[in-house]
A and B are shown apart, each in its own frame.
Chain A
């Protein structure tokens, strides 16, 4: 049928039997004639016919050996005795049926325990058992498979609901259901039967003439009713077409009707999707994939998934989650196990209303696609499956483990909006029916059927990327877990390269990881060396100092410049001391500038090794290392304290960010916290780089630093709380600066005291790192400044322009310095 026709018919049937699911489903499944022209009478006739068929079947196949009609005409007792081995004897058939019934009972006793009162009632169980038994006897090629009972149960339920509805209607509209035998109503008769012949005749003639009137009266009153009620009445009229057998909503014939519906569902009613096929183990005839139909359907919806969401699809494929693990259950029971009964009825409404006729295409090549896509119903089923997978998308992508993926897929959440899933499924259905999807399935089939000619239709290429991924469910072995992880992380690193400021989440994540692993080195450090303790705290303080500097620098632009200048000078000082240091710092800067972080994965194993070696390193610190190895060890040593340092740094900005969130005040302070957040982030970038040899080296040496840094930290805290912009800060800052100078001096002094080449190198690295950090701060402070201007508007216009200029200048100088350092490092 043409889709437009189908829709109008669907509408009609919906209109007529909106609340009668049983009737609607029977229409959709093909049990009752679907044409719009079919009247109630036609419906009744076909109902009666199907019931007759079932009754005959039952009489034939349900064996009671006691009944003489089962015994053959010449009863040969040697065959027909209970112990007979003869397979044809009635008793053998009886025993075979008994075996089958036993299997059925195993399943039926566990059917729908949550609707126990209905489904476990012996009457219902008996009906289900008989229906399934007869169907299996009629179709010995399929036999009974677990799952068939779950397809049947909702059908019976739906009929039961209809009958309940009927009894409701009966109660409320008793008039129309009264048994007007020959148009006479018996209630009006006297209890004592006074047969008044004349009256009788009168009534009779009345009826003949007025009988039409009477019936027209009836009909008129019927017409006044809701069309739905009307149809119910007419459907259940005992004297309509086919009499009692034709009562469409009948309790007596529920078994018959359920059987017919089940049969139609399983056979597909000469359509495309035959549920029975899903229970078969061998490939269907004419299948192009050579797979059993259910496996084919599974690959089909995976194929559809690959079009819709290729990342999820590839994720599942790489984890090795084959579609049939969950798809088998989904398809065989038509999602019966995934939804609650009421939701399932809604889903089945949609599935059954989709037409099941196989589409014929002009192009012969296209029938090489999946069979399930050949009908709207099949496409809707695949669409349903895909939309369910998409519903679980986030939780599936989060797992890295095939078992937990499967767990999520197999335990579909109950509290779910079925309508949404259905809508999504419908959109996917149109996609599935799209020719391009179907014909691109050819690429898969090539793998299976070599005989297919390479004459692929040219119009496939609307989804070129899709062509590679569909192969994966079946052919490509999943890559190893670590490879994939590395790749993912590498990609993440690449992304970060491009937009470091955007990717705040990931760096935090990475920092967190550092955080976690840091406990080790802290232990190591503490256990091994008191010095390392100093290291830790000193590093922490240093970073805090940097942060404070930012805070400090921000409110006072003049001060900032001073700070910057002073910083520069301090840098220069240090630079004078050790050129090597510059190179070291430069390297790290280069790394940081390019933000070419080698993916964290190599770093993590490195780090691990770092931590392991940290012990030995820290213990052997006093001993000497040849120059070549120095840097390595330094890096190792560096990494650990650095990572440790990131811990407090992370904490601090975190608290700041919290303040930021809570403070609605538009102050430069929150703004500063932002770049400060970035700052430790970049710090962590540096840390991750194995070539980064900067700050920590310094820290390990300087014992003087901790105290100063502590002071800085406290100061910074105060600043944050007060949001001072006062000039008093200026003096403080100068102090700060001086003290920052002094740390660098003791650094230098300490380095000279040790006086070895390795120490020199370390110092240079130290200093380089320091300078680098300072440069970064400068730049950031400039940006802050500008931002602060914009947001807070606290600065006067004049000074603004001055500031801007000065800020730019300072930024430029800082950048130049950074570049120098990076070059040096690179050379190193």
Chain B
């Protein structure tokens, strides 16, 4: 029962002031075990805020991040799943599933989390899941002006992962759920 929060592309303070209050009220410390952030926070204050929600914080570098020390890619293992993290501006075309799948194979992970498009997507394909949590603040992107704030919460329990998507549509929080089971094979995806 590991809860993993995936979010990113906040662009605070340049494109957005802060997370929506409804999101903030939901993110209480103590429930979440890990946070994975796709990048573009951009400032340290957001980093600290995320730290207060959960001390285990994994961030990768987005093109607007002011802290240059974040890595480009990151992989970690939670439960039985390998997770991969990348901002996504490196993968061209941006948001293309095949390219992302290539990255996934390259990193050797079951779940790949990327951002940059500011649009929530979740693809299941052979071998794995590619998740884009969107922009948590609803900041505009270079390809999309009208963005709904969104983020993703993953509930990883052994071989099973349940993905909850939280979107703020017209001032209301909408939740959706995707379930994903990893086949318990001894040889994982190469």
A82 and B31 contact, CB distance less than 8 A: yes
Question: Does B160 have its Cβ within 8 Å of any Cβ on chain A?
Answer: yes
Contact A82 B155 (CB under 8 A): yes
A 42-93 contacts with B by CB, 8 A: 66, 77-78, 81-85
Q: What's the least CB distance linking B46 to chain A, in Å?
A: 19
Residues of B within 8 A of A83 (CB): 26-28, 31, 153, 164, 166
Report Cα–Cα, A82/B33, bound state, in Å. 12
Name B31's contact: one of A77, A78, A95 (CB within 8 Å): A95
On whether the beta carbons of B153 and A82 are closer than 8 Å, the reply is yes
The main secondary structure of chain B at its interface with chain A is strand
Structural contact, A77 and B176, CB atoms closer than 8 A: yes
> Residue B144 at the A interface, CB < 8 A?
no
User: Which of B164, B173, B174, B176 contacts A82, CB < 8 Å?
Assistant: B164
- Hey, which chain B residues are within 8 Å of A84, CB to CB? 26
Whether B175 and A77, one on each chain, are in contact in the complex, defined by CB atoms closer than 8 angstroms, is: yes
Total number of A residues with any Cβ neighbor in B under 8 Å: 9
B3 within 8 A of A: yes
Closest chain-B Cβ to A76's Cβ sits at a distance in Å of 9
Answer whether residue B25 sits at the interface, using C-beta atoms and an 8 A cutoff: yes
B97 contacts A by Cβ under 8 Å: no
- Docked CA distance A82–B3 (Å): 8
Q: From the candidates B27, B28, B30, B153, name the one contacting A81 in the complex (CB within 8 A).
A: B153
Chain B residues 123-182 with CB under 8 Å of chain A are 153, 155, 157, 160, 162, 164, 166, 173-177
B160: chain A residues at CB < 8 Å are 66
Across the interface, name the chain B residue whose C-beta is closest to A94: B1
Residue of B nearest to A83 (CB): B26
B164 in complex: contacting residue of A77, A85, A95, CB < 8 Å: A77
Residue of A nearest to B162 (CB): A66
Contact B175 A78 (CB under 8 A): yes
CB neighbours of B157 from chain A (8 A): 66
Q: Which residue of A lies closest to B160 (CB)?
A: A66
A66 CA to B161 CA in the complex, in Å?
A: 10
| Residues on the A chain within 8 Å of B162, using CB | 66
Shortest Cβ gap from B83 to chain A (Å)? 18
Judging by beta carbons under 8 Å apart, are A81 and B164 in contact? yes
Q: How far is the CA of A84 from the CA of B162 in the complex (A)?
A: 15
- With CB as the reference atom, state the residue of chain A lying closest to B157: A66
Complex Cα gap A77–B174 (Å): 8
Nearest CB to that of A95 among chain B residues? B31
> In whole Å, how far is B94's beta carbon from the nearest beta carbon of chain A?
29
- Residues in A neighbouring B28, C-beta threshold 8 A: 83
**Which partner residue on chain B sits nearest A79 by CB separation?**
B175
B residues contacting A by CB (< 8 A) are 3, 25-28, 30-31, 153, 155, 157, 160, 162, 164, 166, 173-177
- Measured CB to CB, the residues of A under 8 A from B are 66, 77-78, 81-85, 95
The 9 closest A-B pairs by CB, nearest first: A77-B175, A83-B26, A81-B175, A81-B164, A78-B175, A77-B177, A82-B3, A82-B153, A82-B155
Given A77-B164, A77-B175, A95-B31, output 19 extra A-B contacts at Cβ < 8 Å. A66-B155, A66-B157, A66-B160, A77-B176, A77-B177, A78-B173, A78-B174, A78-B175, A81-B153, A82-B3, A82-B31, A82-B155, A82-B164, A83-B26, A83-B27, A83-B31, A83-B164, A85-B26, A95-B30
List 12 A-B residue pairs with CB atoms under 8 Å apart, sorted by A's residue number: A66-B160, A77-B164, A77-B176, A78-B173, A81-B164, A81-B166, A81-B177, A82-B31, A83-B27, A83-B153, A85-B26, A95-B30
